[in-house]
Structure 1
Amino acid sequence: MLAPEVWNFKPPSVALQVEKGSLKNARECVEFCVSNHYFNHSVSLILPSDCKLPISLSNGPGKESEYYKIRDLPVLELISPNFIRNFVKQGNSSALSIGTNIDSDTCVCLTPTGMLVLSLERVAFERLGLEGKPSFFCRMKPPSRYVVKIDLTETCFKPNKKNYERVVRCLMHNLKIRTDMILSWDPPDSSVCPSSVASYFSSLGYEVSTGRKEISTKKLMEVQIPKSIMEIDTEEALEWLGAISVGVDTNEWCDLSTGLFAEEDFNNLPAQFHQWTGFYTSRQITSFLEELMSYFRSQKDIPWISLSVQGFEDSAVHWKLDENYFHQSAENSYSILLDHNGKYVLWKTLGANRKFKTKSK
């Protein structure tokens, strides 16, 4: 017989931050959340309407640009003078190692601000020989994980400077980090093709392929839509929106909704759910949100819209340069709900930003 306490696991802890109010007075908060979430894996849109989205929106964020997968790329290539000059200091490059686990492997990312971040196990960190800090989430001594940050935009980070030459020497001789990466480049202006970065790495002899994007659409003929979704409890509203996203069937949906609202608080309306999956930069999400809001303002028959963005669980950072939680859940996502009265609700969900506790006998 199995001991019952063996299976008595608590769910992974997450932190939910909620902001709500007038978008006119808090637009900067929403823009900050969107622009500083650098690595985005999926984007979901819920519309309580049967209207047809314009092509510019139905194709999702980054419709005019692709992201690319580069196999077995040495991290040394990301600090080459040509790459920094053409793709870091001009436009914005976002790159992320794939096929690596944040809790056990070396994870690499390049933020659009030009910061190269290495998340390393202790042995790899000691071999590398560069300055870094212990992971915030490691309690043990010596720490089991370290984070190294290299600012590629510093004026002193160039050939023949001590700092640059030291980084090159460590990545060339001490620890030769090679990994599969996905990369997207937002050029400085529309006259430059985003695929230039793919051509650059291909000319160096690396295997470069176009990343895979998936589009999913669901249309629901008749759904019980809350009349005043902005006025209900924010966590319950988020759960209700999540029910749509995961495809809860109509009967179960009604049972769930009955517990949240009174029956007279509903309207039976059609609804649609769109999801785009791939690799999207923060600039692409920002542009998509601006276009979506412009469309929403012109459609007075749509009472509200909801946009949800999910990050990568194994990215070294989530918002800005904040280290990603890795002991239990590396959740990092946000959802935005907007209505025609200028009100908004913003949910940010991330793995609990606290150190993992261990019990000693």
Structure 2
Amino acid sequence: MSADPQRTLRSLLVSERSSFLEEKNRLSAQAQEHHLNYKVSVLLPECSSAPSHLDAALKSFSSFYLIRKLPLYELLDKQFLETAVYQGSVYGLSYRSRIDQENCVALTPNGRLSLSLDKDSYELLGVEGKPSRFNHRTTSRFVVSVDLTDSSMAPGGRGYQRLLTGLTSHVQLQSDFLLSHHPGGGAALQSLLSRYDWSEHSPEVSSRSLTHLSCPTLLTSDLQSCDPHSFLEWLGAVDADIGCENSSSSFLSSLVCPEPTVTASRSLSVSVCGLLLPQDVHRLIQELRCYLEQPRLAPWVALTVHGFTDSPVSWGNSEHGVLTGGENFYTLLLFHDHTYRLHLATGAPHTCPP
């Protein structure tokens, strides 16, 4: 088989630079819009171990819950709406459901319930939606997006009753479900948890020490100092523990570190995995800023936040799907002078990141 290079699906990459000292910088809003995160990776050049304040931030991500075989109509339960959805920010996602093959559901902190459904489930549900933008030759998937905070979706309302009837009588969808709440954690979810088999999980933290790491010479936040695609390729290879030496005897990788380069004698790569809340990511970013205020041999650090591949949404309420890789992530380069460089990436044909 051969692939036509002209038909290769493109990806979207938005790059910008700004400063934390700039009042109009959009970083906080952009990070908050990336609701459903499964991994945060941090690279600290010229560092052998994270200082205590940074280590505490990496280990203090909020816990989350896995509810097994949750009927989706439970997300419309009146008590759940009143104690969780209306009172704070709920983050929820169907677990291990493949968005290109199965029904997937997400509940985002703005109170929006998003369902990505196969054709049969959508027709049985009987609720208005629209064809997925990730259909191929035939319309086989549909998306339904419901604002649970809208007056029409108040318990007893017409829209609420129609969706509830669809989920209880027409198509009884259920899924293992990841769920978290901010603020308050499990207290707001207790009434729902008490009715099902569930377990609480803390995000998993892992670290690797790296020696003699070739790094791009990133001295400023100038976007022209290093090609974004090459830099992200290199950073991804470091995170995945793939060598970038590109020696003649290696056939595993042709990746190289963007030039000009500098060798970091020691570096630290740290990752946190789980259902990660944007609030915790924001706190980690603030701690990385504090870290850079101390005298260091390297003038920058990098943080990458990965969204779930099989999430029905990526940024905000934008539909997400899988055609090639399902990628949706952003990388933040922080510099000691409080400037930063932000790269937001997603696959085609997604909506352009904010």
**What TM bracket, shorter-length normalisation?**
0.7 to 0.9
Instruction: Show the 5 A alignment for 1:281-296.
Output: 281-296=277-292
- What does 1:7-156 correspond to in 2, within 5 Å? 7-8=2-3, 13-25=10-22, 28-50=25-47, 52-58=49-55, 63=60, 65-138=62-135, 140=137, 143-156=139-152
Distance across 2 between alignment mates of 1:257 and 1:81: 53
Q: What is the DSSP-based 3-state SS (H/G/I as helix, E as strand, rest coil) of the residue aligned with 1:272?
A: strand
**1:322 is the counterpart of 2:313:** no
Shift in CA distance, 89/61, structure 1 to aligned 2, threshold 3 Å: farther
**Quick check: 46-55 or 75-84, which moved more?**
46-55
SS at match of 2:281: helix
Aligned AA for 1:247?
A: D
Q: Secondary structure at the match of 1:292?
A: helix
Whether the aligned pair in 1 keeps the contact of 2:90 and 2:107 (CA below 8 Å) is: yes
- Contact preservation (8 Å) 2:245, 2:256: no
Show CA shifts across 1:59-114 (max 9, x none): 55571631110000011111111111111111211000012111111100000111
* Aligned CA distance change for structure 1 residues 102 and 75 (closer, same or farther; 3 Å): same
Matched, 1:208 2:193: no
- Structure-2 residue corresponding to 1:280: 276
Q: Distance in 1 between matches of 2:61 and 2:25?
A: 26
C-alpha offsets along residues 270-294 of structure 1, whole Å, 9 cap, x if unaligned?
Answer: 2111011111022221222223223
Partner of 1:178: 174
Query: Residues of 1 paired with 2:81 and 2:346: CA distance?
Result: 31
Q: Distance in 1 between matches of 2:321 and 2:23?
A: 28
Contact 1:61 1:280 (8 Å CA) reproduced: no
Distance 1:295 1:196 in 2: 33
1:227–1:267 Cα contact (<8 Å) kept: no
Letter of the 1:44 counterpart: S
CA positional deviation for 1:39: 0.7
User: Pairwise CA RMSD of aligned residues?
Assistant: 2.7
Q: Assess, with a 3 A threshold, how the Cα gap between structure 1 residues 96 and 269 changes in structure 2: closer, same or farther.
A: same
Say which SS state the counterpart of residue 50 (structure 1) adopts: coil
Give the TM-score of the pair, scaled to structure 2: 0.87
For structure 1, the residue ranges without an aligned partner over 5 or more in a row are: 1-5, 356-361
Instruction: Give the C-alpha shift of residue 139 in structure 1.
Output: 5.7
Aligned partners of 1:250 and 1:14: how far apart in 2? 23
State the shift of 1:49 in Å: 2.2
Identity %: 29
Partner of 1:24: helix, strand, or coil? Answer: coil
Counterpart of 2:348 in structure 1 is 352
Q: What is the match of residue 165 of structure 1?
A: 161
Partner of 1:236: 230
Letter in 1 for 2:262: F
CA distance in 1, matches of 2:91, 2:307: 13
Structure 2 CA distance for aligned equivalents of residues 156 and 226 of structure 1: 54
Q: Aligned in 2, Cα 1:139/1:52: closer, same or farther, shift over 3 Å?
A: closer
Give yes or no for the alignment of 1:312 onto 2:308: yes
Whether the 8 Å contact between 1:109 and 1:316 is mirrored in structure 2 is yes
Give the SS at the match of 1:43: strand
TM-score using structure 1 length: 0.85
Q: Which runs of 5+ in 2 are unaligned?
A: none
In structure 2, the CA distance between the partners of 1:238 and 1:88, relative to structure 1 (3 Å rule), is same
